[in-house]
Amino acid sequence: MDRHHQVPSSPVQVLSVASEMFPFVKTGGLGDVVGSLPVALRAEGVAVTTLLPGYPAVLDALEGPVRVAEMTPLPGVEVALLEGMAAGHRLLVVDSPALFRRKGNPYLGPDGVDWPDNGVRFATLSRVAATIAQGHVAACRPDLVLAHDWQSGLTAAYLHYDGQPAAPVIHTIHNIAFQGRFPARDLERFGLPPHAFAMDGVEYHGDIGFLKAGLHFATWITTVSPTYAREIQKPEWGMGLDGLLRSRSDRLVGILNGIDTDDWNPATDPAVLFPYQVGDFRARRPNKRAFQAEFGLRQDPDVFLLGLVSRLTGQKGVDILADVVPRILDDRTQLVVVGSGEAAMEQAFARLSRRFSDRLACHIGYSEQLGHRLQASADSLLIPSRFEPCGLTQLCASRYGCVPIASRVGGLADTIIDANAAAMACDAATGFLFFPTDPDTLVAAIERGGAMFRDPQRWTHLQRNGAHYDVSWRHKAREYAQLFRRVLGRNDAVSAGTEKDIILSRRGTHGRRPWPPGPPGADMPSRTGRLARQAARRSRVRPHDPLARSH
């Protein structure tokens, strides 16, 4: 624990409501965050109980489960509520064999299509969460509810229409593109009153909108980066919900995600063939050679090895990458793609790997271990996302010495310092950013990366800056805890450590402060450039207030 940082004597009891949680069920960053944030919050005097659907993997992981309640949350739906520990987490599990005991993806059937009863499944989860928030379950009486994404969106709506005293709800947007829209005819099936189907209720363009309901009725709204909090208030990013978010901008805040630095540690990571200490970049070389051999590529330490670990979808911009492959691959550049997603994208990369078999390899499918191994081996990680709420891969890659090349959007803009002239002058750069997200800017960013890779001294500085930047949950969890106590009106919120602590979290152990990056390849504006140059000398920076206006 930080020196001078005191944990308030009265812990905040939080019910976290989510549809997935690592290490039990994970389809993306949501599962990672739901699994790692509670651990970091313990140090801030916040006790988290996580409410999950009773998927087979969750039930199998429960240690000594106890049935604490039986409910009929929706008409014709009966569930048992189980309590138990799993992987160090306190869980409440909604056990309904008919709804949740299905193997594989939590949202999709074996045919790759959404389960037709997803509305009922996640309305059930939300209704159970609302019942707990009202204090009707003796095993868990939370001070507040932290609801994640559309799957828990009806929680705040049920509380509103019930009109009973209940814990306040903070709703977190992990990706506004996924909104949970279901036919209006399901209103009664979801246990909602007729008057709820209105613009100031759950109605959204003629449907029932789970995410819209959560954003409308929640006490506060958070999202996973300050830049994304601003972006989603604009029509081009808000996916139709920008007007609602602008109307609630005084209750909207962006708090960056962190990663579990115990899981993401190249010295202890079981997926890394040749373990190495954070910052020991020479020790990465055997991993690069082994990775090239694993994928049938020429083993050459001087080749610029690019990697992509991603869902193969339009959001992730992988179609743009596929289009430019002929322009970026040459005798000095290789690419390895790991991921799955849209069939057209999978087929496109499979074709490209056959066409450029000596320079491009791909693994179609999800592999946690392969993702770890790629980031311990590749020189740069490509993240050409059209939008990115926060992103976790750039944090993991930087810690492993894999320099990110990414779109300047969302959390990528908040966590990567572009290697432009001003950033390089004060030795603060951590990667390469490009905008707009199109083929030409992507190629230009890769070319910038390749040129710097061939200057080993400058490249090592980039790796070092990224590896030593604080990507942990420590200070992000503190911001959440401050928000929780502010929402609850508690007076026991204390100073979040000394200024030195905050400096180290924002600037990394090398004393460099991040700043909003300018266009790729351009010097930053004079004021920003001046701050950048001062960052290497200054020893004072204001603590960040998570409740400051983020727009």
Which residues are known binding-site members? 26
Q: Is the pLDDT of residue 214 over 70?
A: yes
Task: Specify the pLDDT at position 509.
Answer: 31
- Summarised one tens digit per residue, pLDDT across range 99-136 is 999 988 999 999 889 999 999 999 999 999 999 999 99
Contact at 8 Å (CB) between 395 and 417?
A: no
In three-state secondary structure terms, 121 is helix
- Summarised one tens digit per residue, pLDDT across range 389-399 is 999 999 999 99
End-to-end CA distance of the chain: 32
What number is the average pLDDT over the span 143-168?
Answer: 98
Task: Specify the pLDDT at position 282.
Answer: 87
pLDDT: which is higher, 449 or 10 = 449
Task: Specify the pLDDT at position 87.
Answer: 97
Task: Specify the pLDDT at position 283.
Answer: 87
Task: Specify the pLDDT at position 497.
Answer: 33
Domains of the chain with bracketed CATH: 12-254 (3.40.50.2000), 281-468 (3.40.50.2000)
Q: Side-chain half-sphere of 406: how many Cα atoms within 13 Å?
A: 32
Q: Side-chain half-sphere of 512: how many Cα atoms within 13 Å?
A: 26
What number is the average pLDDT over the span 280-308?
Answer: 96
pLDDT band at 2 (very low <50, low <70, confident <90, very high): low
Alpha helix (H) ranges present in 240-381? 242-247, 285-294, 318-328, 343-355, 368-375
Q: What is the DSSP string of 465-476?
A: HHHHS--SSHHH
63/87 Cα distance (integer angstroms):
9
Task: Specify the pLDDT at position 504.
Answer: 29
Q: What is the DSSP string of 180-230?
A: -EEEGGGTTTTT--GGGSSTTTTEETTEEEHHHHHHHH-SEEEES-HHHHH
In three-state secondary structure terms, 160 is helix
Instruction: Say what percent of the chain tops pLDDT 70.
Output: 87
What number is the average pLDDT over the span 271-279?
Answer: 95
Task: Specify the pLDDT at position 366.
Answer: 85
Q: What is the DSSP string of 377-397?
A: T-SEEEE--S--SS-SHHHHH
What number is the average pLDDT over the span 181-196?
Answer: 98
Spatial CB neighbours of 550, under 8 Å, sequence gap ≥ 6: 226, 229, 230, 252, 253, 254
Q: What is the mean pLDDT of the chain?
A: 89
Question: For residue 479, what is the DSSP state?
Answer: H
Give me the helix-helix angle, 154-162 and 210-217, nearest 10°: 60
Which residues are known binding-site members for ADP-alpha-D-glucose? 26
pLDDT: which is higher, 368 or 148 = 148
What number is the average pLDDT over the span 87-106?
Answer: 96
- Conformational region of residue 302, where left means phi above 0, alpha means psi within -120 to 50, and beta covers everything else: alpha
307/41 Cα distance (integer angstroms):
33
Q: Is the pLDDT of residue 516 over 50?
A: no
Q: Is the pLDDT of residue 64 over 50?
A: yes
Task: Specify the pLDDT at position 7.
Answer: 61
Q: Is the pLDDT of residue 535 over 80?
A: no
363/361 Cα distance (integer angstroms):
7
Task: Specify the pLDDT at position 252.
Answer: 98
Amino acid identity, position 539 = S
